[in-house]
Amino acid sequence: MGDLKDLKRRSGGAAQDRGGVMRLVRRMGMHCDFCGRLALAVAVEARPDGRQVSICSRCVGEAARTVHSHGGGDAA
Exactly one of 9, 49, 50, 70 binds another protein (CB under 8 A); that residue is 49
Interacting positions 52-71 with another protein (CB under 8 A): 53, 55, 57, 59-60, 63-64, 66-67
Whether 13 contacts 21, CB under 8 Å: no
Q: Answer positive or negative: Cα dihedral of 8, 10, 17, 38.
A: positive
* Residue 12 CB, nearest approach to another protein (Å): 18
Interacting positions 5-34 with another protein (CB under 8 A): 5, 8, 19-20, 22-24, 26, 28-29, 31, 33-34
Whole-angstrom Cα distance, residue 65 to residue 68? 5
